[in-house]
Structure 1
Amino acid sequence: MLRDVLSSALDAVQGRPNPLGLAARRRVVVLVVDGLGDESLTARAGHARTLAGSTRRRIRTASPTTTAAALTTLTTGTDAGTHGIVSYAALEPVSDRVINQLRGFDADLPDGWQRSSTVFERAVDEGVAALAVGPRHYAASGFTREVLRGARYVGARSIEERLEAAVEGLRAAGRGIAYCYVPELDVAAHRDGWNSPGWTDLLERVDGAVRDTAQGLRSGESLLSTADHGMVDVPSSAHLLLDDLGLLTGVRRLAGEPRLLHVHLVPDADPEAEATRWAEAVGSAADVLTRDAAIRAGWFGVTEPAVRARIGDLLVAARGRAACYATADAPGRGMVGQHGAWTTAERFVPLVRFDG
């Protein structure tokens, strides 16, 4: 599982048994290619022969399958119901506001919102170097501060420069782990879809950078390449407009994302009755569960009491290629590639290992 990858890298550097079965290493780089699902990699294997090669295996990512939650699961080794990052946009119960969790740490979210210690903090406590390498403009963000807590952040412009910085930074430190982040593929998929030529061109570039890095690894060094989630291309014909379906009555706040909607109801609403009404309205396009049913089903892993109020009274998880929007003019309806729900395209990501 994705939650085991970075913690297993630390265990390998410390010579400990680990869930991935990694042998003892001096340096491990974990590359996260945002949005690279295992199914889409299989479909474009001819354009990514290194990533689609013989050392690749399929693993299950975090739930929900959204960047904020999955990256936090990777860097803490805990589930969303424990670390508290349960969606892209979440209800902050005290202020009763829906806040973007990729941007809200800078001003809008209270201290301690991300509730788990990170693998980087544990590494530093054990005397192991911890690096995080990504685009320069992410260096000072609140999300970086909270989710990569404990790591020394290194900004680098290109994909190739980021991998080089991760490897060279660990070599300078002697022993350590590094997280290296590539958002470009995810951005292209949201804009044009993962079936677009531009997405395939970027995949080829990522594959070439991984190939070159893998060929330059020294003895005792490993590169693990994985992803936070996969993608589904959603046509506008598959959009569910809640206003047209008469589903906005009784709704206090909408959070989550189009493929996993968190519905916060007005105080006197009956969640069970509303779940039935919503299920009848959306039909086979989505699964509708109450908060309690979703938690029992393990949608957020082990869920702490302090996290429950962040989760919607109802969860609407898209099937197939559907996505939910409040109204016809809702922001984001031009987005093609999407994720957040439980289809195999979204839930399964590659894990590829290269050893020096």
Structure 2
Amino acid sequence: MPLPSPPGYADGSLADVLPSVAASLGVPGRPGGDGPFAMPPARRGVVVLVDGLGARQLSRRYGHAPFLRAHRERTRTVPAGFPSTTATSMGTFGTGLTPGQHGMLGYEVLVPDEDRVFNELSWEGGPDPERWQPRPTWFERAEAEGVDVARIGPGFFDGSGLTQAALRGGRFLAADLLAARVDAALRAVRSGPRTLVYLYWGEVDKLGHVHGPESLEWTAELEAVDRELARLAAGLPDDASLTMTADHGMLACPHDGRVDVADEPALRAGVRHLGGEPRVTHVYCEPGAAGDVADAWREVLGDRAHVVGRDEAVRAGLFGRVAPEHLARVGDVVAVAGGDFTIVDSRRMRPQLLALLGMHGALTAEELEVPVLHVPARVVA
């Protein structure tokens, strides 16, 4: 089954959002000048990332989001990057680089020198985050140029492996409820004459995973997010811009439409480690076994997934240009689910993960496309 088209990174993607906001604040170093997002100058900027708020899901629920609907004409749809998953997208967002360049290539990936797989989201037992992802973030770049940078999220994010790898720089402000985070953002944006504030909210993603995207629970959370975004926009100083984006979308994946590796001996033969996630599996093979493994996976999965070798995945541009030091993090074989199909492994996946309905990671528009809304400052700096 041939691969679908890779994300169109060159035409503007999640990688361009934070660099463009930083450039509007006068932070130099953005390759290609203004790039695909030419944002007017501002003295201050607030960037909100709503985890799991895909562009396709939002467009079908604009009736529940009057603030976002009112700014629909200012909203672009761009690819998050591949895989369309939080750990990878946070690397893309924070560094302004495509996945192959920052090297955070999935939910679970191989540490090649240690021959083990670790979870890039939890970072439990993971490598030193600043060695794993050493490229500077745009928060660090902004701070180095005299911008007061504040990042707002749950307290356990402060100093976590994922945060240190993808989002380091500036100061961290802990707040739990969304209203408290908006209050913190409104204080932080006024804390200096030149500020960059980042606010993260994850409940849309959580509810989509458990109940499905666009479920009643998901929709109620979208309504709450929309109200707080409206309050945030109304409370900003005149010289501050507001940007809202997301890290991926989502689609419902019924449990009866999946394959469990634990039940398929052919999918285990020659396999040393499995990584990735249910929509994109990195298959790390025993030496010399990659060809046979790819054939076996194609035979079992048929037209439900795109199964390619590492070289083909890299040549196709799925991850953007892949830095040589990151090649071994890509599976020897990569299986990209189509439709609403998933690949699970009940031998190693937690029951909570196996129970989820909403999934993401692959190349469908439902998963890949995210919104980028930019509301310029009312007073140009």
Q: CA deviation at 1:107?
A: 4.1
Distance 2:345 2:79 in 1: 30
Residue in 2 that maps onto 1:284? 303
Distance 2:118 2:356 in 1: 20
Q: From the superposition, tell whether residues 11 and 265 of structure 1 become closer, same or farther in structure 2 (CA, over 3 Å).
A: same
Per mean C-alpha deviation after superposition, the further-off stretch among 285-294 and 139-148 is: 139-148
Mapping 1:198-213, distance limit 5 Å: 198-213=217-232
Query: Could you tell me the percent identity over the aligned residues?
Result: 37
Q: CA deviation at 1:335?
A: 0.8
Residue in 2 that maps onto 1:352? 373
Per mean C-alpha deviation after superposition, the further-off stretch among 137-146 and 117-126 is: 137-146
Q: CA deviation at 1:277?
A: 2.7
SS in 1 for 2:274: strand
- Alignment length, in residue pairs? 354
Q: From the superposition, tell whether residues 73 and 329 of structure 1 become closer, same or farther in structure 2 (CA, over 3 Å).
A: closer
Q: Work out which of the residue numbers 109, 119, 133 in structure 1 matches 2:127.
A: 109
Distance 1:352 1:303 in 2: 29
Letter in 2 for 1:63: F
Distance 1:113 1:172 in 2: 33
Q: CA deviation at 1:244?
A: 3.4
Q: CA deviation at 1:122?
A: 0.8
Q: CA deviation at 1:247?
A: 1.1
Q: CA deviation at 1:49?
A: 2.2
SS in 1 for 2:93: helix
Task: Write the deviation string for residues 25-82 of structure 1: whole angstroms up to 9, x where unpaired.
Answer: 0111110000000111011111112223332221111221010010111110111111
Residue in 1 that maps onto 2:8? none
Residue in 2 that maps onto 1:48? 65
Q: From the superposition, tell whether residues 77 and 249 of structure 1 become closer, same or farther in structure 2 (CA, over 3 Å).
A: same
Distance 1:47 1:197 in 2: 11
Residue segments in structure 2 that go unaligned for 5+ positions in a row: 1-12
Mapping 1:1-356, distance limit 5 Å: 1-14=13-26, 17-19=33-35, 20-52=37-69, 53-104=72-123, 107-110=125-128, 112-245=131-264, 246-269=266-289, 271-327=290-346, 330-331=349-350, 332-355=353-376, 356=378
Is the CA contact (8 Å cut-off) linking 2:137 and 2:168 kept in structure 1? Answer: yes
Q: CA deviation at 1:168?
A: 2.0
Query: Normalised by the size of structure 1, how large is the TM-score?
Result: 0.95
Q: CA deviation at 1:184?
A: 0.8
Is the CA contact (8 Å cut-off) linking 2:27 and 2:145 kept in structure 1? Answer: no
Q: CA deviation at 1:328?
A: 7.9
Residue in 1 that maps onto 2:7? none
Q: From the superposition, tell whether residues 238 and 328 of structure 1 become closer, same or farther in structure 2 (CA, over 3 Å).
A: farther
Task: Write the deviation string for residues 153-177 of structure 1: whole angstroms up to 9, x where unpaired.
Answer: 1111211221232232121121121
SS in 2 for 1:256: strand
Is the CA contact (8 Å cut-off) linking 1:10 and 1:176 kept in structure 2? Answer: no
Q: CA deviation at 1:329?
A: 8.4
Q: CA deviation at 1:280?
A: 2.5
Distance 1:323 1:23 in 2: 42
Is the CA contact (8 Å cut-off) linking 1:82 and 1:303 kept in structure 2? Answer: yes
Letter in 2 for 1:341: A
Letter in 2 for 1:45: Y
Task: Write the deviation string for residues 90-141 of structure 1: whole angstroms up to 9, x where unpaired.
Answer: 111122111011222x643135001311001111111112111111222232
SS in 2 for 1:62: coil
Distance 1:107 1:247 in 2: 27
SS in 1 for 2:15: helix
Is the CA contact (8 Å cut-off) linking 1:139 and 1:153 kept in structure 2? Answer: yes
Distance 1:15 1:95 in 2: 38
Distance 1:349 1:29 in 2: 18
Residue segments in structure 1 that go unaligned for 5+ positions in a row: none
**Cα RMSD (Å) of the superposition?**
1.7
Letter in 2 for 1:18: D
Is the CA contact (8 Å cut-off) linking 1:226 and 1:349 kept in structure 2? Answer: yes
Q: From the superposition, tell whether residues 181 and 278 of structure 1 become closer, same or farther in structure 2 (CA, over 3 Å).
A: same
Q: From the superposition, tell whether residues 289 and 171 of structure 1 become closer, same or farther in structure 2 (CA, over 3 Å).
A: same
Distance 2:308 2:66 in 1: 40
Letter in 1 for 2:354: R
Is the CA contact (8 Å cut-off) linking 2:346 and 2:354 kept in structure 1? Answer: no
Following superposition, which runs of at least 4 residues in structure 1 exceed 3 angstroms of deviation? Answer: 327-330
Query: Normalised by the size of structure 2, how large is the TM-score?
Result: 0.89
